[in-house]
């Protein structure tokens, strides 16, 4: 693996927000400044400075435990592509995580998968991004709005499903849009959502079973006015059928991959809709 010495990378901070947002907007991605802040405050964002000091490429890593970290936000502006810059930043992230004893995990697009496999990344499970419109659904029985006091239980449930506690992430999502958060009446399942640059991102949905997940999905969809993105694990065909009935379509596939590890860290049987490819 390469180190950060191979590329003249800088560690980015909040003062670089405009450049980071310009890169994700150019790529057509859905992130907001609040999303970038999570990487800057809880992880590391590497950037390759351009002539004007603004980043022309980025890559982020977000440790979630003493076992693994998420790698994402690998972006290169159009004028600097095809120079292996993105791969170099990815290698730098992986080298740093290896130094820390952490496994690198990510959600790959088909184009990214072709880059990641030769580096030693192996598949864990498949996802699809669905897009459509919210609204028009009444929250079903057995689901209620999430309250602040529900967060501790949701964080514990999520930790089992995801494989690590990520309370800072869920608290951020809830604070941004508490009206889009719901829990099952029995307290065993929940959904969060957050506003994005292009669409509201629903996820994660962590549930005891597919029936509970469908109820939470209906509640969240009913609370959204406008465009929706959500990243559904492909194994849940009943939820896919629900989305098709609502005229949702698949925007793109993703493949969850980890460096040298095919076994997910969490419990995939409780993972229905993930938080997004940038967060897992």
Q: What is the pLDDT of residues 180-193, one digit of tens each?
A: 999 999 999 999 99
Rounded alpha-carbon distances, angstroms, from residue 234 to 226, 256, 268, 271: 24, 11, 11, 11
With cut-offs at 50, 70 and 90, classify the pLDDT of residue 4.
very low
Mean pLDDT of the chain: 95
Q: DSSP 3-state assignment of 277?
A: coil
What confidence category does residue 136 fall into, taking pLDDT thresholds of 50, 70 and 90?
A: confident
| Locus of tokens 């800072």 | 168
Instruction: Tell me, yes or no, if the two domains 10-101 and 128-274 fold the same way.
Output: yes
Rounded to whole angstroms, how far apart are CA atoms 115 and 117? 6
Q: How many whole angstroms from its chain centre is CA 211? A: 23
Q: For domain 10-101, which architecture applies?
A: 3-Layer(aba) Sandwich (3.40)
What would the CATH number be for the domain defined by 128-274?
3.40.630.30
Query: Is-contact 215 274, C-beta < 8 A?
Result: no
Q: Residue 240, SS3?
A: helix
pLDDT for 1 equals 34
| CA–CA–CA angle 128, 129, 130 (5° rounding) | 110
Q: Is the pLDDT of residue 102 over 90?
A: yes
Q: Encode pLDDT of 53-99 as tens digits.
A: 899 999 999 999 999 999 999 999 998 888 889 999 999 999 999 99
What's the half-sphere exposure (Cβ side, CA atoms, 13 Å) at 113?
Answer: 16
The secondary element (H helix, E strand) that includes residue 270 is: none
How far apart are the C-alpha atoms of 87 and 76, rounded to whole Å? 10
Question: DSSP label at 84?
Answer: S
Entry field: residues in the chain: 280
* Residue-range domain boundaries for the chain: 10-101, 128-274
pLDDT at 194 over 70: yes
Of 84, 41, 20, the closest CA to residue 171 belongs to 41
Distances (CA, A) of 165 to 113, 153, 170, 188: 27, 11, 10, 16
User: What does pTM read for this prediction?
Assistant: 0.94
pLDDT at position 3: 40
Averaged pLDDT for residues 198-219: 97
Share of the chain above pLDDT 70, in %: 98
User: Between 33-42 and 167-176, two packed helices, what is the crossing angle to 10 degrees?
Assistant: 160
């Amino acid at each position: 693996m390469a180190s950060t010495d191979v590329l003249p990378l800088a560690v980015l901070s909040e003062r670089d927000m405009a450049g980071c947002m310009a890169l994700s907007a150019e790529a057509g991605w859905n992130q907001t400044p609040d999303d970038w802040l999570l990487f800057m405050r809880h992880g590391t964002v590497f950037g390759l400075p351009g002539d004007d000091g603004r980043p022309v490429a980025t890559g982020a890593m977000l440790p979630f435990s003493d076992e693994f970290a998420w790698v994402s936000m690998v972006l290169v502006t159009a004028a600097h592509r095809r120079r292996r810059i993105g791969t170099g930043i990815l290698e730098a992230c992986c080298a740093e995580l290896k130094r820390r004893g952490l496994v690198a995990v990510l959600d790959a697009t088909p184009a990214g998968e072709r880059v990641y496999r030769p580096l030693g990344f192996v598949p864990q499970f498949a996802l699809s991004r669905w897009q459509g419109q919210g609204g028009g659904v009444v929250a079903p029985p057995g689901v209620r709005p999430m309250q602040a006091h529900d967060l501790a239980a949701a964080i514990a449930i999520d930790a089992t499903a995801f494989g690590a506690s990520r309370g800072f992430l869920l608290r951020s999502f809830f604070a941004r849009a508490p009206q889009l958060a719901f829990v099952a009446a029995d307290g065993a399942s929940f959904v969060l959502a957050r506003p994005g640059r292009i669409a509201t991102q629903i996820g994660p949905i962590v549930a005891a079973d597919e029936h509970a997940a469908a109820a939470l999905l209906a509640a969240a969809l009913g609370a959204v006015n406008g465009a929706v993105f959500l990243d559904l694990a492909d194994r849940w065909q009943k939820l896919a059928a629900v989305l098709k009935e609502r005229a949702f379509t698949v925007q793109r596939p993703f493949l969850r991959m980890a460096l040298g590890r095919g076994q997910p860290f969490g419990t995939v049987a409780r993972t229905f809709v993930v938080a997004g490819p940038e967060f897992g």
